[in-house]
Chains A and B, each alone.
Chain A
Amino acid sequence: MSNLLQFSISEVLSLLEKKEFSTKELVETYINAIEKTKDLNMYLTTCFDQALEQAKISDQNYLNGNQRFLEGIPLGVKDMFCTKGIETTASSKILKKFIPTYESTVTQNLLKEGAINLGKLSCDEFAMGSSNETAAKGEVINPWNFEEKRTPGGSSGGSAAAVAAKAALAATGTDTGGSIRQPAAFCGVVGLKPTYGRCSRWGIVAFASSLDQAGPITRNVSDAALMLQVMSGYDPKDSTSSNINVPNFYNDLGKSIKGIKIGIPEEYNSNGISSDILEAKDITINFLKENGAEIIPVKLPLTKYSLPVYYIVAPAEASSNLARYDGVRYGHRINGNSLDEMYENTRNLGFGDEVKRRIMIGTYVLSSGYYDAYYLKAQKVRRLIKNEFNEIFKQVDYLVTPTTPTTAFKLGSTQDLLTMYLNDVFTVPASLAGIPGISIPIKLDNNKLPVGIQILGKDFDEQGLLNVANVIESCASFKDTPNGAAS
């Protein structure tokens, strides 16, 4: 068969079942694609031998008619997920050569259903960043206009780039303040951040526990539904995972959205937002109208506080979550003449600047004398933001916003940290509220770079969210392929 890389998950599953090609051929094709796209610097570690072994099992299962839900689907896994026997570094020097003895619940769920792990994908160090520039092994290059060396976004930059460059059929990501949605927008793929608690956090390197959530990055909406189906579920090992029914996410796709109320928040319209993005938003609104949805302008006045709240809460949790990387038990250690000196050496050389910066901010906002003014206040405002979303969802079913203020910028072009942090301005509110959000590509801008639109929904309404996204996707009919993709 000609180009196996072009097929989506559902297509691959049906073709494998029809024995049009074997899982082995499929995995070999992807291995080849990974080799061809090496210059994009997406994979930190590959596990091809293991993948080929798995492919044999998958082929056997197809032969026997025992195929599982995602039998033979070759995936890339963000390096934040602990993978048994495979180096897991969270893109940090401090976890160099760390090989977990356990598999994260989410990746285990995928493997259990027959998915195949091709390797570990780069990300910002400990998922802290919006450009993949903080990765210890260097930045990932966006496959769109790859010669211009643009950012794939972050933190799941490797995941989004690999899916766009066809170096993985789909990938896992984690989203703390936009780390799935923003890179998905920059790379022209679909990125879904589920409701907080939908997927287990067990075995995912923690950045900010109250915000971290795993989700899929895929070529299209129905693939996202299939991936989420398997990734989701209550896990007694994660006290914050929700013991709530996992519905069938893909069967309802294609359902009419007639009469559904879509809110357009006026605040998601900051200075510096590019006209291409505003245009994409208008196009999307038209698609929705054409399909019978009711468009309602809404106000979310607390939106402006989201970014400051996020940059207090996330670093605070991170400063504590990252205390375990002390060189004592695993990972990188640089000796010193005393315990304190060993800590200092290890953490000084083990962590990059952005991680250190956030640890310092987090330590500061939790310090006695500052706690009330920063952390406690931020938590209160976070609660108000959540309430504001709850209220708005009494009026509308979904919200449509741009995913990012701009399209992918050039690597190294953003010197100013605040500008960098502003990348997350449209994605952070949903993270703080814990609600699900999805980014889907709509069009290309003048620079031939993809523009993403974000849809937000109520807690645990991923099903409806995917359905709306599916409608927009059909209308947008975004079929372009980046010039850096494997073929």
Chain B
Amino acid sequence: MTNANKNSNYISGKTGDWEIIIGLEIHAQVLSSSKLFSGASTEFGKDPNHNVSLVDAAMPGMLPVINQTCIKQAIKSGIALNAEINKYSVFDRKNYFYADLPQGYQISQYKYPIVGEGSLKITDANGEDKVIGIERIHLEQDAGKSLHDQHPSKSFIDLNRTGVALMEIVSKPDLRSPEEAASYVKKIRTVLRYIETCDGNMEQGSLRADCNVSVRKPNGDLGTRCEIKNLNSIKFISQAIQYEAERQVEILENGGVIDQETRLFDTSTGETRSMRSKEDAHDYRYFPDPDLLPLELTDSQISEIRSDMPELPDQLVERLISEYGITKYDANVIAEEKEYVHFYENSAKNRDGKLVVNWMTSELFGLLKKNNIQFNQNPISPNYLNELVELIENKTISGKIAKDVFEIMFATSKSPKMIVKEKGLEQVTDDSAIEDFVDQVINENKDKVIEYLSGKDKLFGFFIGQVMKVSQGKANPGLVNKILKSKLK
């Protein structure tokens, strides 16, 4: 293999390079006030078994009724992922016994999911666009929670989460590195948050992923895959994939074979370990749920949702670039969160977009990070950033002074105009005032003036510096430049 073909995503082993093949199943909790098949609330953080209806507890004779909000949310998500919306889909029962699964089956979609094939554009490690295929999205119920650490001999069951709607977004095995997987999850999260179909809150479990990982010799036959279950942070997803791929390479290079199995990621050790082998895999006995009719959608239902779609991140990036003249990199940073976009677009109104994006991504994000403040707690309003940039643009203050003003804004949430006024930081743009500063400097540095006039051009910078110093930084540098030049002829 030539160096030119060398792929930075490969794992280099004793026997050469290995390519990682990754497919993700993302479980995204549907943003909806009630559950998929019952009217119980989905509010997070309630006391155990507070959000439980008779249906959720699977009392005898209870029947599921489809929550139309969840259907709309799934369609919206499908549209956002450029996917085909299936006008006919079926809810199936996935049968297994567990204490926190009251019905003894999970209602899911098996053969006929609501959303078919789609795609998502991500940015790969080299900053290039890469399109990842989406296999399908189906709707399903979440299970409850078993608590094993509350009592020495008993397990407790919390059914608050039971029946909450999840979208399972299944990718094609198109991802090739932990970084790509992370980028994919981030992008999915951004898209879903944009269209408000999932809050993307990974700590609360609103977005979690199962990762299918296998390795192969570059362009060789696909290897046997292992599935790592239930990862709830982007960091863990990358770590788990990296560990798992290396584990598989080591086994293969030592002449072993990979067992197709389900594995768990131990966040404390950073290792994956076997949960169950293929032989122990459940036979879920899927069959169409006879309590529910097949879900049939009409074209008008779908087109109504389509026409109501908010701007999607990719469209937004394009618009930010053309409308504000910012770089793709900056546009991507802004597009990552809806609240960034909102902030940016308000700050940049009638201002130089590039200037605003710099202030936002370097100064603002820097201060937030330094002070460990969440963006939604940001003390600076977009109006004030707009005002600050205006002050720079109309030369009321210099960029250097602006940084000081910005820090005061951050600490006090005051308007920059007010700060500049109170502290007397306005740039001096009055010719005569500047002439006074220039005259003062010339008088105090007669020897240097002679040297300059005799050809030592480099001294010009010295004079500028002196004038700025005398003006306490407030003199307009352009004017200083002009007046100095005319006086030093």
Query: How extensive is the interface on chain B, given as a class?
Result: 20 to 34
Do the beta carbons of B285 and A324 come within 8 Å of each other? no
B290 in the interface (beta carbon within 8 A): yes
Q: Check if A328 sits within 8 Å of B65, measured CB to CB.
A: no
Chain A 102-119 per-residue mask, 1 if CB under 8 angstroms from chain B, else 0: 101000000000000000
Residue A46, interface by CB 8 Å: no
Q: In the complex, are the beta carbons of A239 and B63 less than 8 A apart?
A: yes
Q: Please determine whether A102 and B287 come into contact, CB atoms closer than 8 angstroms.
A: no
Residue of A nearest to B95 (CB): A320
Contact pick for B285, options A203, A339, A367, CB 8 Å: A367
Say yes or no: B61 contacts A205, CB within 8 Å.
yes
Q: Which residues of A contact B63 (CB under 8 A)?
A: 201-202, 237-239
Which listed residue (A201, A323, A371) contacts B103, Cβ 8 A? A323
Return A188 CB to nearest CB of chain B, in Å. 30
- Taking the closest CB of chain A, its distance from the CB of B55, in whole angstroms, is 9
Among residues of A, the one whose C-beta sits closest to the C-beta of B105 is A320
B98 partner residues in chain A, CB cutoff 8 A: 339
Interface string of B270-300 (1 = CB under 8 A from A): 0000000000000101110111110000000
> What interface size band does chain A fall in?
35 or more
Is A324 in contact with B290, judged by CB distance below 8 angstroms? no
Select the residue from A88, A239, A367 with max chain B CB neighbours within 10 A: A239
Q: How far is the CA of A216 from the CA of B287 in the complex (A)?
A: 31
The answer to whether B283 and A367 have CB atoms under 8 Å apart is: yes
Is A59's CB within 8 Å of the partner chain B? no
Q: Does B66 contact A (CB under 8 A)?
A: yes
Chain B, range 46-78, C-beta contacts under 8 Å to A = 54, 57-66
- B97: interface (CB < 8 Å): yes
Residue A82 lies at the interface, judged by CB distance under 8 Å to chain B: yes
Residues of chain B within 8 A (CB-CB) of A329 are 57-59, 102
Give the complex CA separation of A316 and B59 in angstroms: 20
Question: Does A366 count as interface, using CB distance less than 8 angstroms?
Answer: yes
Taking a contact as CB atoms under 8 Å apart, the answer to whether A323 and B292 are in contact is no
User: Is the CB of A95 closer than 8 A to any CB of chain B?
Assistant: yes
B102 touches A210 (CB 8 A): no
B284 nearest CB neighbor, chain A only: A368
**Most A-side CB within 10 Å, residue of B65, B95, B283, B287:** B287
Find residues 58-114 in chain A having any chain B CB closer than 8 Å to their own CB: 81-82, 88, 90, 95, 98, 100-102, 104
Q: What CA separation (Å) do A400 and B54 show in the bound complex?
A: 42
List residues of chain B with CB within 8 A of the CB of A317.
290
B402 within 8 A of A: no
Across-interface contacts of B102 in A (CB, < 8 A): 324, 328-329
Q: Mark B94-123, 1 if CB is under 8 A from A, else 0.
A: 010111001111000000000000000000
In the complex the two chains form, what is the Cα distance from A81 to B60 in whole Å? 9
**CB nearest to A197 among chain B residues:** B293
Q: Report yes or no: B60 in contact with A82, Cβ–Cβ below 8 A.
A: yes
In the complex, A208 Cα to B63 Cα: how many Å?
13
Cα distance, A329 to B283, chains bound together (Å): 24
Given contacts A204-B61, A329-B57, contact A343 B97 (CB under 8 A): yes
In the bound assembly, the distance between CA atoms of A233 and B54 in angstroms comes to 22
Query: Do A320 and B64 touch (CB < 8 A)?
Result: no
Most buried by A among B285, B289, B293: B285
Nearest opposing residue in chain A for B157, CB measure: A328
B93 contacts A by Cβ under 8 Å: yes
Q: How far is the CB of A466 from chain B (nearest CB, A)?
A: 27
Give A238's nearest chain B residue, CB to CB. B63
Pick from A206, A328, A340, A367: contact of B61, CB below 8 A: A206
Q: Which residue of B lies closest to A327 (CB)?
A: B99
Interface of A is mostly: loop
> Once the chains are docked, how many angstroms separate the CA of A339 from the CA of B60?
21
Q: Is A424's beta carbon under 8 Å from chain B?
A: no
B residues near A316, Cβ cutoff 8 Å:
287
Tell me, in angstroms, the Cα distance from A327 to B292 when the chains sit together: 26
In the complex, which residue of chain B has the Cβ closest to the Cβ of A210?
Answer: B290
- With A320-B95, A323-B95 known as contacts, the answer to whether A203 contacts B58 (CB < 8 A) is no
Q: Which chain B positions have C-beta within 8 A of A328?
A: 99, 102, 157
Bound state CA distance, A452 and B68, in angstroms? Answer: 46
| Alpha-carbon distance A375/B285, docked complex (angstroms) | 11
A320 and B107 CA atoms in complex are apart in Å by 11
CA distance A324 to B59 in the complex (A): 8
Interface centre among B61, B63, B287 (most CB of A within 10 A): B61
Is B290 touching A239 in the complex (CB atoms < 8 A)? no
Q: Is the CB of A201 within 8 A of B285?
A: no
Please tell me if the beta carbons of B61 and A366 are within 8 angstroms of each other in the complex: no
> Looking across the interface, which residue of chain A has its beta carbon closest to that of B97?
A343
With CB as the reference atom, state the residue of chain B lying closest to A364. Answer: B285
Note all chain B residues with C-beta closer than 8 A to A102: 54, 59
A127 to chain B, nearest CB (A): 12
Q: Is the CB of A205 within 8 A of B97?
A: no
Q: Does A240 contact B (CB under 8 A)?
A: yes
Across-interface contacts of B97 in A (CB, < 8 A): 323, 326, 340, 343
Verify if A142 is at the interface (C-beta below 8 Å from B): no
Min CB distance A116 to B, Å, is 21
B65 contacts A239, CB within 8 Å?
Answer: yes
Check A240 against B291 for contact (C-beta < 8 Å): yes
Docked CA distance A40–B335 (Å): 76
User: Which residue from B61, B287, B289 sits with its C-beta under 8 Å from A371?
Assistant: B287
Write out, one digit per residue, whether chain A residues 333-346 have a CB within 8 A of any chain B CB (1) or not (0). Answer: 00000011001000
A209 within 8 A of B: yes
Q: Is the CB of B61 within 8 A of A98?
A: no
Which residues of B have CB within 8 Å of A208? 290
A239 / chain B contacts, CB cutoff of 8 Å: 63-66, 291-293
How distant is B367 from chain A, measured CB to nearest CB, in Å?
52
- Alpha-carbon gap, A306 to B59, bound state (A): 31
In the bound assembly, the distance between CA atoms of A236 and B97 in angstroms comes to 29
Q: Is A311 an interface residue (CB 8 A)?
A: no
Taking CB atoms, residues of chain B closer than 8 Å to A330 are 59
CB distance from B156 to the nearest CB of A (A): 11
Per the bound structure, the CA–CA distance linking A268 and B291 in Å amounts to 31
Could you name 17 residue pairs across A and B whose Cβ atoms are closer than 8 Å?
Answer: A82-B61, A98-B60, A201-B63, A202-B63, A236-B65, A237-B63, A237-B65, A239-B63, A239-B66, A320-B287, A328-B99, A328-B157, A329-B57, A366-B95, A366-B286, A366-B287, A371-B286
- Name B's A-contacting residues (CB within 8 A): 54, 57-66, 93, 95, 97-99, 102-105, 155, 157, 283, 285-287, 289-293
In the A-B complex, the 8 residue pairs with the closest CB atoms = A323-B104, A209-B290, A366-B285, A210-B290, A324-B58, A203-B61, A205-B60, A82-B61
A102-B54, A343-B97, A368-B285 known; 7 other A-B pairs, CB under 8 Å?
A: A201-B61, A201-B63, A239-B63, A240-B291, A320-B93, A329-B102, A340-B97
